Amino acid sequence: ELLPAEAAEVEAEVEAHHLRGLLQWLREESFVLRVAEWSWDWSSDFPADAAAVTDVEHSLRCTQAHREFRELFEVQAQEYLQRHGLGQELFLSLAARHAEATGAAPDEALQDVV
């Protein structure tokens, strides 16, 4: 049986392992190529003029592009979770605990596992 401090250390290692694992999964060459191809296909639909980007509302095409882009990442992340037997809620709680334990803000939580 592990002492509480040892159990916390093991838990922290598991959290970091899965955060690092998902990050590596998202960096896989086949996925990066899919994102690059998707980006190329959509590149002509986005305004070249920076002023147009700051408009209050975006076109429905931009909304559709955003949805597809998000879905690319969500599907890839779900594949990682399924392969490792992790539910989405469990993974999110692992990530939250890791951020809390490291004192990192949500957008900085992966800094120490990269």
Percent of the chain at pLDDT > 70 equals: 80
Q: What is the pLDDT of residues 35-54, one digit of tens each?
A: 999 999 988 877 677 555 55
DSSP class of residue 57? S
Per-residue pLDDT tens over the stretch 43-93: 887 767 755 555 556 678 888 999 999 999 999 999 999 999 989 998 888
pLDDT at res. 51: 58
Whole-number pLDDT of residue 54: 57
Cα(37)–Cα(14) distance, rounded to whole angstroms? 33
User: What is d(CA 9, CA 15) in angstroms, rounded to the nearest whole number?
Assistant: 10
pTM of full prediction above 0.85: no
- Here the tokens at position 44 are 């002509």
Q: Which residues contact 61 (CB under 8 A, 6 or more apart)?
A: 45
Are 18 and 84 a contacting pair, CB within 8 Å? yes
Distance separating alpha carbons of residues 87 and 89, to the nearest angstrom: 5
d(CA 25, CA 5): 30
- Find the DSSP H helices in 27-107: 29-42, 50-53, 60-83, 88-102
pLDDT at 100 over 70: yes
* Predicted pLDDT of residue 12: 78
